[in-house]
Chain A
Amino acid sequence: MDALLLSRIQFGANISFHILFPTITIALGWVLLFFKLRFNATGDQKWMEAYRLWVKVFALSFAMGVVSGITMSFQFGTNWPGFMETVGNIAGPLLAYEVLTAFFLEAVFLGIMLFGFSKVPGWLHTLATFLVAFGTTMSAFWIIVLNSWMHTPAGFEMREGVAHATDWMAIVFNPSMPYRLVHMLLASGLTVAFLIAGLSAFAWLIGHRTAGTRATLRTGLVMGAVLIPIQILAGDMHGLNTLEHQPQKVAAMEGNWETGGNVPLLLFALPDEEARQNRFEIGIPNGASLILKHHADGVVPGLNDFVAEDGTVLHPPVAPVFWSFRIMVGTGMAMLALSWAGVMLMTFRKITVNGTRRRAGIDGLPMPLLYALVPMAFSGWVATLAGWYTTEIGRQPWLVQGVLSTEQAVAAVPAPFVGLSLAAYLAIYAVLLVAYVSALFYLVRKAAKGEGVTPAAPLAAHAPLPAE
């Protein structure tokens, strides 16, 4: 394998590993703030119980996000020097603002948020929690600005092969930024909603049926049920935006070869790039035309329009884009079904307690639903990764759409070096992923056994220190 391919795999592996954790921390920061504020307002211990467990999950995820993020920031130099050399005048300030306005904020106040509970006044602790949540969201904002700019570049001019900024407002508010940011923030919210619901369902199933578990299970389900319809709507609008700016990507997502009307919405197909057609198609007639153009004979772009005279293919690889798009949407549909079923049952089922009929709430959830929620804990990860693959592979062969191709940006590092580092990263990621997921379940089990939920008695200054 050559250095280009290896570098691409390495970049894909690193960012895929990285994004798992920001997706959690971005929204979980706000959820923790919510728990904290509920506790401040009601004084109800169940919110503190929820805060105590989930702050641990947050700390763990945050550490994973930080260390994998540091790897990301070196990647540009080690593997893609052409990227900075060509578009550094634009990417540079955006990355710099991310470090300055977001990373320091979250990193410094994280220390206070985690370990300052008894050292600072309550309001300062709440403020620190707010600033951490705000910081992670800011960092998502800046990196999404850069990433959107790579898809829909604007506000610059090329001089001697180097991009120079001409209009910073146009760069920051580039055409796809609002859609991508909203879609990503909602993705983060959904990931956390299902993580909380899934792990709380697990706690419930192993018999930890406390007020805290009820509160978090409810929070997760309601949050998911509220966010998923918005996400579907946002995703649809995002797709329309992409149709305008990157039609070849939409053609690949739909698996549509010939431009024309009455294009079906394919549920299943095996795109064959050699033969330039699909095999085993199953689709809903006129579906794609309806979704993208809002009438049955709407004209949808086809992949064959993106082949140059000399046969050079200018559209992305079809099968990965086609399939990852379906995985994302499919996961979204599963989220819709489960969270709405859950909320409906909680609201409309009634039970009788001590002779009075009341809403069943969590007790109205049937066993199969609870069992289904547990594996759904990580459904957000699946959908998010699938979504990013759609977006990023759909941009190929470009790195910056129409400006810089991926091939032009790669470093002249010997392939064995890249292979070596890649192998090391993959090994360590595999180990860490297993350790992370098992630690989550372990934390829930430990909370269920009653450890770590009771406020720790003040330890003597020299006693052995459990550093949590």
Chain B
Amino acid sequence: MTLFGDPATWLPLTFAALMGLSILIYVVLDGFDLGVGVLFPFAEDTEKDRMIASIGPFWDANETWLVLAIGILLVAFPTAHGTILTALYLPVAVMLIGLILRGVAFEFRVKAPVQQKGRWNMAFLVGSLMTSLSQGFMLGLYIMGLDVTLFTLGFAAITAVFLTVAYSFIGATWLILKTDGSLQQKAVVWARGGIWGLVLGMGAVSVASPLVSERIWGKWFSIPEIFLLAPLPLMSALLISLLAYALRHLPTRNDSWAWFPFVATIVLFVLGFFGMAYSFYPYVVPEQLTIYEAASAPESLFIILIGVCFVLPMILGYTALAYTIFRGKATTLSYD
């Protein structure tokens, strides 16, 4: 265990990285299928089936990344886990109820009697909204160091809206990739509308975090960091302009470039995520608890790490297999 130096240093770091990775994968993957749910009211009834068909085979596995992320928080940083989740008690409850509603709506909308389909469509929308909004709300409170004041609540309400917009944006880009015809055209229009929300949201978070924390300010706005970090906002700006350009010209006649908005949005999410991760490192509870203070006993982390080394590549492998099997435009979702 001393192979790489002191395990009390590198194990917490490794687990923080793993947790970050699964949160990132979660936000991208469940982000697009939550987004599809949020876009539900803008679609015709027949298009709704198509939208569901585009995420049907994936949503369950997508949500499992949340279970993994929360699991790592739970197992690797038990004290932080308690602090964060008890502070976020109510938004977590709202999110869980949202996840329940949308998860079961997938099944019930086609298995319950047809007359009830409208009701389950509604449950799907409401569930997706509750989930996205509460996740954004939690993100806001987390950035504000889990303090509850009128100001932080207001900020959290704003991030709630922006994260929801960001999810519906990536959802729209997913639909551009996975559908064609009139639905695809609609998705392009939705994405054009959503991109401004995305810009505002990323902007708000980037401006607010250094303002509320002197430490974060210092990490970004000192020399030489400011030069080393400059590519991050510059690349984001470039990607956003490319996206805006692409959305003006999509869909193309032979459907080329339909993949571009989705991929570009993923890169954008990744950039934003690295910015946040850089700001908050080494804290797991902002300004209160570092990953080193919160970590579990090295023996236990080591046991998990062995499992992770073997299993994570397999998980990534068969996830890739599933996306390959269901590649191409979404058609009928059928058990036959």
Decide if A66 is an interface residue (CB 8 Å cutoff): yes
* B95-114 interface bits toward A, Cβ cutoff 8 Å, 1 = contact, 0 = none: 01101110110111111110
Residues in A neighbouring B312, C-beta threshold 8 A: 100
User: Which listed residue, B81, B104, B299, B307, touches A97 by the CB 8 Å rule?
Assistant: B307
User: Which listed residue, A70, A109, A438, A443, touches B96 by the CB 8 Å rule?
Assistant: A70
Question: Is the Cβ of B86 less than 8 Å from the Cβ of A411?
Answer: yes
Surface stretch bound by A, among B49-57, B190-198, B245-253: B49-57
Decide if A182 is an interface residue (CB 8 Å cutoff): no
With A92-B300, A95-B71, A115-B333 known as contacts, the answer to whether A74 contacts B92 (CB < 8 A) is yes
Decide if B58 is an interface residue (CB 8 Å cutoff): yes
With A411-B86, A424-B97, A428-B97 known as contacts, the answer to whether A63 contacts B103 (CB < 8 A) is yes
Give B138 Cβ to nearest chain A Cβ, in Å.
Answer: 12
Decide if B308 is an interface residue (CB 8 Å cutoff): yes
Residues in B neighbouring A448, C-beta threshold 8 A: none
Decide if A111 is an interface residue (CB 8 Å cutoff): yes
Residues in B neighbouring A67, C-beta threshold 8 A: 99-100, 103-104
User: Which listed residue, B50, B107, B311, B319, touches A63 by the CB 8 Å rule?
Assistant: B107
Residues in A neighbouring B93, C-beta threshold 8 A: 78, 420-421, 424
Chain B residue with Cβ nearest A462: B181
With A104-B64, A443-B111 known as contacts, the answer to whether A96 contacts B307 (CB < 8 A) is yes
Which chain B residues numbered 58 to 81 have a C-beta less than 8 Å away from chain A?
A: 58, 60-61, 63-64, 66-68, 70-76, 78-79, 81
- Count the B residues whose beta carbon is within 8 Å of the partner chain — how many? 74
User: Which listed residue, B60, B86, B107, B321, touches A60 by the CB 8 Å rule?
Assistant: B107
User: Which listed residue, A92, A103, A412, touches B64 by the CB 8 Å rule?
Assistant: A103
Decide if B297 is an interface residue (CB 8 Å cutoff): yes
Surface stretch bound by B, among A82-90, A272-280, A345-353, A382-390: A82-90
State the main secondary structure of chain A at its contact with B.
helix
Interface size class of chain A, counting residues whose CB lies under 8 Å from the partner chain: 35 or more
Decide if B6 is an interface residue (CB 8 Å cutoff): no
Question: Is the Cβ of B74 less than 8 Å from the Cβ of A92?
Answer: yes
Question: Is the Cβ of B52 less than 8 Å from the Cβ of A467?
Answer: yes
User: Which listed residue, A70, A105, A107, A442, touches B99 by the CB 8 Å rule?
Assistant: A70
Question: Is the Cβ of B304 less than 8 Å from the Cβ of A112?
Answer: no
Residues in A neighbouring B297, C-beta threshold 8 A: 89, 162, 164-165
How many angstroms between the C-alpha atoms of A327 and B96 in the bound complex? 32
Residues in A neighbouring B64, C-beta threshold 8 A: 99, 103-104, 107
Sorted from nearest, which 9 A-B pairs have the closest CB atoms?
A81-B82, A92-B75, A77-B85, A111-B57, A67-B103, A88-B78, A421-B93, A465-B49, A467-B333
19 A-B pairs whose Cβ atoms sit less than 8 Å apart in the complex? A52-B336, A63-B104, A66-B63, A67-B103, A67-B104, A77-B86, A78-B89, A84-B81, A92-B74, A92-B304, A96-B308, A104-B64, A110-B60, A112-B322, A417-B90, A421-B89, A464-B46, A465-B49, A467-B109
Not counting A112-B57, A164-B300, a sample of 13 additional A-B residue pairs whose C-beta atoms are within 8 angstroms of each other reads A63-B107, A69-B67, A81-B83, A81-B86, A88-B74, A92-B74, A95-B74, A109-B318, A109-B322, A111-B61, A420-B90, A435-B108, A467-B333
Q: Name A residues whose Cβ lies closer than 8 Å to a Cβ of B.
A: 52, 55-56, 59-60, 62-64, 66-71, 73-74, 76-78, 81-82, 84-85, 88-93, 95-97, 99-101, 103-105, 107-112, 114-120, 162, 164-165, 168, 411-413, 417, 420-421, 424-425, 428, 432, 435, 438-439, 442-443, 455-456, 459, 461-468
